[in-house]
Amino acid sequence: MNFKKYLENKKNIIDKTLDEYLPPEDNPPSIINKAMRYSVFGGGKRIRPILTLATAELFGRDAESVIKAACGVELIHTFSLIHDDLPCIDNDDFRRGKPSNHKVFGEAIALLAGDALLVSGFDLIIKNSEVKEIKKQSILKIIKETSFYIGTENMLGGQVEDISVKNEEDVTKADLINLYMKKTAALICLSIRAGAILSGANQRQLKALTKYGENLGLAFQIVDDMLDIMQDQRDAGKPTYANKYGLKESKSECERLIKEAKDSLKIFNHKAETLRNIADYLLTRKK
Ligand code: GRG
C-alpha cells in the first residue's frame, strides 16, 4: 500500500470508531452532542491517532487492538483546540477554515463541549482495556501518562506560558523550544508512547520512540507557524519561531529536527518505515 493510501485507510478507521463512540446528535442534550461532533468531524488530519496505530504496527500489533486509545487522544486534542480558540484564550473565529466552535454554538456550549471531550477521551482510552490481548496494567499506565502529558507540566502548562508571553524580544530560542515541547510535542509523544506501551515496548524502545516524538512534535509546531505566515493567517503580535527567525531559518530547523527524529528510529530498522514516512509528510504538509 502506498503511503497516501495508508493515511486514508487509517483516517477511515479512526472516523468510524469516533462516530460509533460519540452519542448521536439528536440524543439529549442534543446541543452538546452537536457541538462535540462539529469539532471532532471538522476536517482534522488525525495525525495523533495515526501515530498510535503506526507505532503499534511497528511492534507487529493490529491497528484494531489500540484504536480506542488512539481515538481517545484525538478527542483530547479536539478539546484543546476548542478551548484554544475561545475568546478568553486565543480568540480565533476560524478553525480549519470553518467558524470555530464558540462562533457556532456560543461560548458556554463550546466550553462544555471541550470539557465533555476531555472526559470522553479518558473514557475511550479505558474502553481499550476490553481488547483481549491488552494488559489492564498498560491501560493504567496510559491513563497516568495522559494526565501527565496534558497536565500543568506539559500541554496545559505550555498553554499558560503561551498566553503569558507578551513581547517577542523577551523570548529566547530556548524559551520557545521549551514552550513548543509542552504545548504541542507532549500530546504527540503521548500518542506514540500509548501505541508502544499497549504493544509491550521495552524501556530502550520507549526511549527511542519518545525522542522521535519530541523532535517530530517540535518540527510540527514550527511548520504550523510557517503555514500561518504562508497562508496569511499570521498573528503578528505572537512570538512564534517563524515570526522571530523567518521562514528560511525555520525550514532548516525543521529539516534538522525531522532528521533527528528519523535517526532515533535506527534500532527498529526497516520496521519503522511508516513512522519515517509520517515524519517526511509532516515536513511537507500544506495544512
Ligand atoms: C486543560 C489539558 C488542558 C488543555 C487546555 C487550550 C489548551 C489548554 C491547550 C491547547 C494547546 C494547543 C492548541 C496547541 C497547538 C497544537 C497544534 C499545532 C494544533 C493543531 O494540530 P493539527 O494540525 O490539527 O494536528 P488538526 O486540524 O489536523 O486536527
Q: How many residues comprise the chain?
A: 287
Gap between the Cα atoms of 114 and 230, Å rounded: 29
DSSP annotation of 236 reads T
Please tell me the distance between residue 146's alpha carbon and the centre of ligand 1 in angstroms. 15
AA letter at 158: G
Please tell me the distance between residue 224's alpha carbon and the centre of ligand 1 in angstroms. 11
CB of 199 within 8 A of CB of 142?
no
Which three cell numbers mark 35? 457541538
What 3 state SS string does 71-96 have? HHHHHHHHHHHHHHHCCCCCCCCEEC
Which three cell numbers mark 53? 496505530
Whether residue 15 has its Cβ less than 6 Å from ligand 1 = no
Which pTM value belongs to this model? 0.96
At residue 253, the pLDDT reads: 97
Profile the chain (287 residues) by mean pLDDT over runs of 10 residues.
94 98 98 98 97 98 97 98 97 96 98 98 98 96 98 97 85 95 98 98 98 98 95 80 95 98 98 98 92
Which three cell numbers mark 168? 517577542
DSSP annotation of 134 reads S
For the residues of 163-200, what is the DSSP string, one character each?
HH---GGG--HHHHHHHHIIIIIHHHHHHHHHHHHHTT
Name the residue of 83, 164, 182, 231 whose CB sits within 8 Å of the most ligand 1 atoms, as the mutation to test its pocket. Answer: 83
